Structure 1
Amino acid sequence: MLTISQVSRAFNVTPRMLRHYEKIGLLPGKRIDDYAYRVYDEDAIRRLQYIIVLRKLRIPLKEISAILNDPEQVRLIEIIQENINELNIEITALNTIRDVLKIILSRLSIGKEAKLKLDLLSEADILNLIEPLSPSRIPFKEECSIENLNKANEVLDKLKNVRIVLLPPCTVAAYHFVGENPEETVGDAVDKFVRESRLYQLKADSRMFGFDHPSPSPERQYHGYEVWVTIPDDMEVPEPLVKKSFKGGLYAAHTIVFPNFHEWEYLKKWVEESDKYTADYIEQEDDIMGGCLEEHLNWVYSSHMHWPENGIDGNIDLLLPIKMK
């Protein structure tokens, strides 16, 4: 038996990701009497290895669930064939792109030597070649090892755009917990507060933010999570929640679909490479993600509605504090 922390370190996946796999039925976890940790047995570890390989092959979680629930492996064969067909199309497109670029490069070189001004993008043979291509960038190369597939998947996931948002000062009800499953623990406490206080009726624009406090680390037995939900300034909050003031600020924002928290790295890189903005991290003794926030969109409304099965999709905004250069 391995604990969730041991599995997280061994396979380089976050505890939050493991809990998500368990929540959607992909990965069975167990609890042992008189033992506080969630644990995984040998069968679960093999299943996790299978999931990781399939994810690296760009197979969605929904398809992975269908594969794992098909003992005859018929669906796996179908999905692999579908992926091969898609890859063949991408590889053909890449070959075409490479050939067109070679033609353009060759004609540019000739034109430069002959001091000719060429309008290459209107030449008929080039237009005919590129007509069938999709305008989106195709990341695959002809030789697709597992490592290349993984890198290609990261390219697909990189940020297409980042929003710049100004969060206004506000009053929040906060709850902080350090221990096993801190995200679920604080979420349950704030969910109860939202419903019992009828917060949505008092403040229909209420928002919910969260952040690691402290972040997961091999040196720590537990990590923590803190949640803020915005409330009217004159509202009192019951224990264990506490009332806090948030001064707001300027943030670079990027929306993700749960649980793609690895895209924090892409947002950080975007800020690092920005000509206009630089990171404005908060330096404190306690590790609180440098002032970064995760805004759980539509969370307060969903809580107010008792989490309807066909409710609004709850995406997450990653918010990184910035300032003008």
Structure 2
Amino acid sequence: METMTISQLSKRFDVSTRMLRYYEKMGLLASHRKEDYAYRMYDEIAVRRLQQIIVLRKLHIPLKQIALIFEDKEQVDTLNIFQENINEIEDEINALSTIRDILNVFVSRLSISLQNDIRLDLLEDRELIKVVDTLCLSKLNLKEERSMNELNKANETLNKNLEVRMVLLPPCTVASFHYVGENPEEVVGNQMSKFVQESKIYERKPDARMFGFNHPNPSEDREFYGYEDLITIPEDMEVPAPLTKKRFNGGLYAAHTITFPNFNEWADLAEWVQNSDKYEVNYSELGEEIMGGCLEEHLNWIYSAHMGWPENGIDGQLDLLLPVKLLTAK
């Protein structure tokens, strides 16, 4: 097998370049560089390792546990990890079975009451409510060994159960920094973290927020891609170079919260909007040049940067924000 660039690997396995770099940062994946060649290159061993990571992630094994699995030569820890996940799944299956049984009771009682023209308020049944309150709700439904196709379908089913909310971002003034080159998110993030700490923006504007987006998107046609961050600031605040002061127009967005670095859920959010009977996408006319107008908001990032806490913010949570508008009649 020939070596592959990071963009080629990203497209082949439908994994973002940012996630590939994150896997490298965690020590899960290795790349190398050819002399006088800017791209990361991945050999057959790295490609096989990525395939293993993808399968384990689809089995909902956390990345930290995946790292332990790869380091486990005796496979004792691997066995324990798999058993631990099986136990969690069994608990969730039992919870869902309980939910199913209770719903069957609801259906049975309501059917009888309707046949007898009686209105039955099941929500006043204290015993049933007591049982429901003890349940650990979940969405998993894997029960036995599956083929790869079935695994992919199961994973897609889980990912479709998105929690999406509508967010209206108002127009505001922002400080912006844009960089095109190697590891653009890190370069931009470091520059913005420095700005937050030196300007004491959190003390001046405790509700300040940070949004980021690819600018431009990764592509085989260009050597590097770019990233841009926006931090909301007071209208009368001046910003130091190399930052620039801009006006952000705001808009309506479909929002979905992820844990870093699960950017693969962008596709799930886009599908959710596509299937919506109320909203449709409202991508920017600039298209891939600015990620279609989509935004990534690192939640609580301003406070985290202000305090010098971990780089991905508190608990590494992000909102994926996809621009939408009300569906027009056709």
The TM tier, using the shorter chain, reads: 0.7 to 0.9
CA gap of 1:77–1:207, structure 2 versus 1, over 3 A, is: same
CA gap of 1:57–1:324, structure 2 versus 1, over 3 A, is: closer
Unaligned stretches of 5+ in structure 1?
Answer: none
1:17 deviates by 0.7
* Structure 2 residue aligned with 1:312: 314
* Structure 1 residue aligned with 2:237: 235
CA gap of 1:144–1:235, structure 2 versus 1, over 3 A, is: same
Measured against aligned partners, the alpha-carbon deviations of 1:263-306 in whole angstroms (never above 9, x if no partner) come to 22222233233333333222126632222111111112211222
Contact 1:256 1:318 in 2 (8 A): yes
Moved more, 304-313 or 215-224: 304-313
The RMSD of aligned alpha carbons is 3.7
Measured against aligned partners, the alpha-carbon deviations of 1:211-234 in whole angstroms (never above 9, x if no partner) come to 122222344443222111112212
* Structure 1 residue aligned with 2:177: 175
Moved more, 20-29 or 243-252: 20-29
1:153 deviates by 2.5
Q: Residue type matched to 2:253 in 1?
A: Y
* Structure 2 residue aligned with 1:140: 141
Q: 2:225 aligns with which of 201, 223, 230?
A: 223
* Structure 2 residue aligned with 1:290: 292
CA gap of 1:254–1:93, structure 2 versus 1, over 3 A, is: closer
User: Equivalents in 1 of 2:103, 2:142: separation in Å?
Assistant: 15
* Structure 1 residue aligned with 2:264: 262
Measured against aligned partners, the alpha-carbon deviations of 1:96-143 in whole angstroms (never above 9, x if no partner) come to 99999999999x99xx9xx88899x99xxxx9xx99x96746553666
User: Equivalents in 2 of 1:300, 1:321: separation in Å?
Assistant: 23
Unaligned stretches of 5+ in structure 2?
Answer: none
Give yes or no for the alignment of 1:202 onto 2:204: yes
Q: How many residues align?
A: 318
Q: Residue type matched to 2:14 in 1?
A: N
CA gap of 1:32–1:219, structure 2 versus 1, over 3 A, is: closer
TM-score by structure 2 length?
0.78
User: Equivalents in 1 of 2:195, 2:312: separation in Å?
Assistant: 22
Contact 1:139 1:155 in 2 (8 A): no
* Structure 1 residue aligned with 2:24: 22
User: Equivalents in 2 of 1:57, 1:308: separation in Å?
Assistant: 28
CA gap of 1:161–1:100, structure 2 versus 1, over 3 A, is: closer
* Structure 2 residue aligned with 1:36: 38
Identity of aligned residues (%): 60
What secondary structure does 1:164 align onto?
Answer: strand
CA gap of 1:197–1:274, structure 2 versus 1, over 3 A, is: same
